[in-house]
Structure 1
Amino acid sequence: MRVYGYARVSTQEQAEEFDALNQQIARLKAAGATEVLIDIESGRSDARKQFNELLKLVQQNQVDEVIITRIDRLGRSVITIHKAIDIFVKQNVNLRVLDAPVDPNSPFGWFSINQMSGLAEFESRLLSQRVKQGNEYFRQQLKYCVPPFGYAKDENHRLTPNRNIHEKSGKTYFELAKIIIDLTLELRSLQDVCNYIYTEYEVVFTVAGLRDWVKNLVLQGHTAYFVKKKKGINREPIINFHTHEALITPATVEAIQAKLSANRKYRSSATSTRGDYPLAGLIRCTHCQGSMYRNFSRHKTRTEYMRCVNYNKLGKYHCENSKCTRLRQIISKTIAELCENAPKLIEYLESQSETTQVVSTQEIEKLSNELSVLRALRSSNPDIIQAIAKIEATINSRSIPVKMIERDTFENAQRKIAIASQATFWESLDDSELRVTLAEFVEKVEVDSEGAVTPSFKLPLTLSSMRP
């Protein structure tokens, strides 16, 4: 008998700290569930991955019985619960609710489920209303969650200047914030400001973070809510003016806006072609394995060169590779290496044509998804650890060895490599053609602080051609 259990908690905190998920799983297994599907998500959401997987399995006649601890584990909406139960009834799947045994096929059971699902939705709506009222009261009291740099919260959770002393500079955080504002107006770019304050004061800001910070209405002395728009939420901002000491004046705000507008022309636009060049996305820094970005010299020749993206980052993510290597030099060295190593690629291709690899079937993919869910729980429960080991063993035992490359595919790839070994072929391509063709042969290209270029090649085979 194919018996599935379904367990759900709303938050990771419930799963880890209160052990609610493990309790559900243990009860479901004790009740006879051979497999348990798990979601850590609100019951008001209809996009729960494992819940929808359960409904899919039921519709495919792969389930005989579904076990849950309470009816609200299926959802916190009357419509969602009824949709699930209708599917169970149509497919003749027995639903067992451990805390309240009911028969959805009987009139009394149908009535009981209606009452329980209505109560589940009522509790959810009541909680939502309480949270909404609490947040509304929070805003009416001018309270604030996370103050921006330079500000703190008083005993009433309202904004106030941060008078604590910054250890490195000996100044208060509020004074240090004023210095950062002055530097924003004085220095050439926000990146220069970030570098300076990290070197001098060990204060870390990203460029985007600094840009958002100087625009924050808190710095102007206002307490505001719903300023940043969120997807799916269309609410007008609530701004309470002059609620605390301001860090910047209206004149400073205008000066900052003018500075940001002037700097905007140096940033990417909607019509940017920064990724439209040969080897785009394939060039890596040898030292940190970070990507490298393209820039142009200020000379009228507009020479393209590549630089490690982590060189401009601060703290532990900073990379010492400051070398600016010409893009055309990287491309020419990569092509030269490819022409030279073409015979080795063909030799490797011939060896691979006789080898095998493991191809994932649909069943293995399903087991892999279940394995990911169980690992995400990070549980010390012996049953879950045993289930993880069992799934891993099943995946290993059901892997299918198949031939990696067919003869026709091999000959086609061999022909491509032979053409690519001719320098005249590469000279005939324009940049757009060069980008597409190099992407077919090149896995990545590493560039070190001395400008040395080390390409790694791949076989010119698509994923589909690797399957029989």
Structure 2
Amino acid sequence: MRIPGYTRVSSNSPEQLKALEQHKARLKAAGCTEIYWDVASRSRDDREGLNTVLKLIERQECDQAVFIRVDRMTDSPTVLEKAITTCLKANIPIKGLDDSIDFTTVGGRLHARLLCNLARAEVERLAERVKHGHEHHRKMNAAYFAPFGYKKVGQRLELNPEPFVCLLNTKEELSQAAIGYELVEIYLNTRSIRATLRFFNDKYGIHTFSGKSRKYRRHASCLGFSLSGLTAWLNNPILRGHTAYGRAYKQRNSHKHLWDIRYNTHPEHRLMSEEEYQAVDSTLDWNAKHRSWQPPSSYRIHPLSGLVRCAECRGFCKTVGFKLRTDPNVKKHNYQCSNYHTKSCDQKKSLRDEIIEQSVIQSLAKRAETLTAIAELPPDNVDPPELQELKAELSFYENAPGSRAAGIVAELRHQIEDYYSRQQEGQQQVSTQRDLLLQVFSDRSYWKTLLPEERRDLYRALVDQVSIRAGQVEAVLLKV
């Protein structure tokens, strides 16, 4: 006789895998000649093990099928009805070790459907409890996990000052917090994730080895970072004294507008300031779009590199070098649309880099004059409509009777504090750009003394892009 058995567990955790082995032993003791299993949610209908058993039943290639119980099979009414229909058509009996499964009678099918619905309700109740737990956790601004450099004390995060590693050459003991400060400093100096990891791994002797087989692989120690891991760590608002929710999976480094940030939950335990994060964030964003912050040391630095675009096709423009006929020792550079050489753009005319830079300087100087005039005007202290509405609601519920209003008042106060924090963060970034612009262009002679790499950093901080067409500058878009 051919008797397939089936069971399922939800995850690869040690407890679940131990339960899986127990299920297999029970199925084997029940007389199963072959055993199929899945490690997946019971709601999924694409489970390989379950579909294999149902195909054996459909083809009448077995004499009986054995299941542990209905919730090990499914909690989906659709999957259960498919199993019932398959068994009735094939006239193959079903046996349950913990449940009396009988698809051949009306009462047996009703019993199976009730068990399936109970399993579904259990999952929904569990999801509801988890959801309420997360909501309560967020209302308390409580932390979930401590990133590198921190430790969890109660529901708060604090810098971890305990000795973590000892350098062999200097016998110096370093804490996670000290290493965290060092990581931020290294990145701000190198402006590159790879360069930061090279320096960091070389200093602390972190090496990873890989082979064709898993048994030859060695994982990095707990001190090691991957490229994506270091990027996520630098982006973590916890390093700036905030607590953030909604950063799981692919949202660790992107979709920042979806993050739920609770500002200044531990301001005395920061690894970087807001000004430092602005530099980190702008560099990460630039590197993601242009692959690197700076070219190899052997390359000539072009201050406007990565900022010049073709107004016709919106593509980037690249530098094209040429020597003067009058003096072959002098080399000049023009910007030309990079898509022209592939015939995907008809903008053949190039433009001298000096002319483009002069247009950028004029735009920045003009903007500096405008900002100087604006700074002399009295400040506008009128709250925006959104904030006025929140304050009006807060005033209403503060005077409302009953205990229910207390929770609403606390939530409204949190929203107002969050609004002020986001507003302050945005104003701080704009203020930094304005101060930089006014500082540099208040003295034209000072601008001429700047090195190419210094002008490059200033342009990237103040200029969004420069559009050229037909050998002329069409537009200069500023960030400030």
Q: What secondary structure does 1:167 align onto?
A: strand
How many Å apart are 1:192 and its aligned residue?
A: 2.3
Paired residues for 1:55-454 under 5 Å: 55-154=54-153, 156-168=154-166, 169-187=172-190, 189-202=192-205, 203-228=223-248, 230=250, 236-244=258-266, 245-264=269-288, 267=291
- How many aligned residue pairs are there? 270
d(CA) in 2 for partners of 1:265, 1:26: 55
Q: What are structure 2's unaligned runs of at least 5 residues?
A: 167-171, 206-222, 301-480
Residue 129 to residue 92, structure 1, CA distance change in 2 (3 Å): same
Counterpart residue identity of residue 243, structure 1: T
Q: What's the TM-score once normalised by structure 2's chain length?
A: 0.51
1:267-293 deviations in Å (ceiling 9; x for gaps): 29xxxxxxxxxxxxxxxxxxxxxxxxx
1:356-382 deviations in Å (ceiling 9; x for gaps): xxxxxxxxxxxxxxxxxxxxxxxxxxx
1:37-62 deviations in Å (ceiling 9; x for gaps): 11122212222211112122222222
CA contact (8 A) 1:142 1:223 kept: yes
1:279-319 deviations in Å (ceiling 9; x for gaps): xxxxxxxxxxxxxxxx999679xxxxxxxxxxxxxxxxxxx
Q: What secondary structure does 1:5 align onto?
A: strand
d(CA) in 2 for partners of 1:52, 1:258: 50
Partner of 1:466: none
Counterpart residue identity of residue 252, structure 1: E
d(CA) in 2 for partners of 1:108, 1:131: 35
Counterpart residue identity of residue 8, structure 2: R
1:45 equivalent in alignment to 2:44: yes
How many Å apart are 1:75 and its aligned residue?
A: 0.9
CA contact (8 A) 2:77 2:116 kept: yes
Q: What secondary structure does 1:12 align onto?
A: coil
State percent identity of aligned pairs: 32
How many Å apart are 1:153 and its aligned residue?
A: 0.7
Counterpart residue identity of residue 291, structure 2: R
Counterpart residue identity of residue 228, structure 2: A
Q: What secondary structure does 2:66 align onto?
A: strand
d(CA) in 2 for partners of 1:296, 1:240: 40
Residue 4 to residue 15, structure 1, CA distance change in 2 (3 Å): farther
Residue 249 to residue 133, structure 1, CA distance change in 2 (3 Å): same
Partner of 1:3: 3
Residue 148 to residue 23, structure 1, CA distance change in 2 (3 Å): closer
CA contact (8 A) 1:220 1:250 kept: yes
d(CA) in 1 for partners of 2:270, 2:203: 25
Greater shift, 243-252 or 188-197, is seen at 188-197
d(CA) in 1 for partners of 2:3, 2:118: 27
Partner of 1:12: 12
Residue 249 to residue 264, structure 1, CA distance change in 2 (3 Å): same
CA contact (8 A) 2:88 2:103 kept: yes
Counterpart residue identity of residue 19, structure 2: A
d(CA) in 1 for partners of 2:114, 2:155: 42
How many Å apart are 1:241 and its aligned residue?
A: 0.9
d(CA) in 1 for partners of 2:187, 2:27: 60
CA contact (8 A) 2:149 2:176 kept: yes
1:22-81 deviations in Å (ceiling 9; x for gaps): 332222222222111111222122222111121222222222311112121111223322
Partner of 1:422: none
Residue 208 to residue 66, structure 1, CA distance change in 2 (3 Å): same
Residue 165 to residue 207, structure 1, CA distance change in 2 (3 Å): same
How many Å apart are 1:122 and its aligned residue?
A: 1.7
Q: What's the TM-score once normalised by structure 1's chain length?
A: 0.52
Residue 91 to residue 15, structure 1, CA distance change in 2 (3 Å): farther
CA contact (8 A) 2:191 2:283 kept: no
Counterpart residue identity of residue 229, structure 2: G
Q: What secondary structure does 2:110 align onto?
A: helix
Q: What secondary structure does 2:164 align onto?
A: coil
Q: What secondary structure does 2:6 align onto?
A: strand
d(CA) in 2 for partners of 1:246, 1:45: 44
Q: What secondary structure does 2:173 align onto?
A: coil
Residue 206 to residue 73, structure 1, CA distance change in 2 (3 Å): closer
Based on CA coordinates, which of the two structures has the bigger radius of gyration? 2
Residue 230 to residue 105, structure 1, CA distance change in 2 (3 Å): farther
Residue 178 to residue 100, structure 1, CA distance change in 2 (3 Å): closer
d(CA) in 2 for partners of 1:91, 1:37: 20
Q: What are structure 1's unaligned runs of at least 5 residues?
A: 269-294, 301-468
Residue 49 to residue 89, structure 1, CA distance change in 2 (3 Å): same
CA contact (8 A) 1:147 1:159 kept: yes
Partner of 1:284: none
How many Å apart are 1:216 and its aligned residue?
A: 1.3
d(CA) in 2 for partners of 1:9, 1:147: 30
Counterpart residue identity of residue 34, structure 2: E
d(CA) in 2 for partners of 1:261, 1:22: 48
How many Å apart are 1:264 and its aligned residue?
A: 4.3
How many Å apart are 1:85 and its aligned residue?
A: 1.7
Partner of 2:409: none
d(CA) in 2 for partners of 1:30, 1:228: 43
Counterpart residue identity of residue 24, structure 1: H
Residue 135 to residue 182, structure 1, CA distance change in 2 (3 Å): same
CA contact (8 A) 2:10 2:16 kept: no
1:219-250 deviations in Å (ceiling 9; x for gaps): 1211111135659xx99432111111322222
d(CA) in 2 for partners of 1:69, 1:265: 53
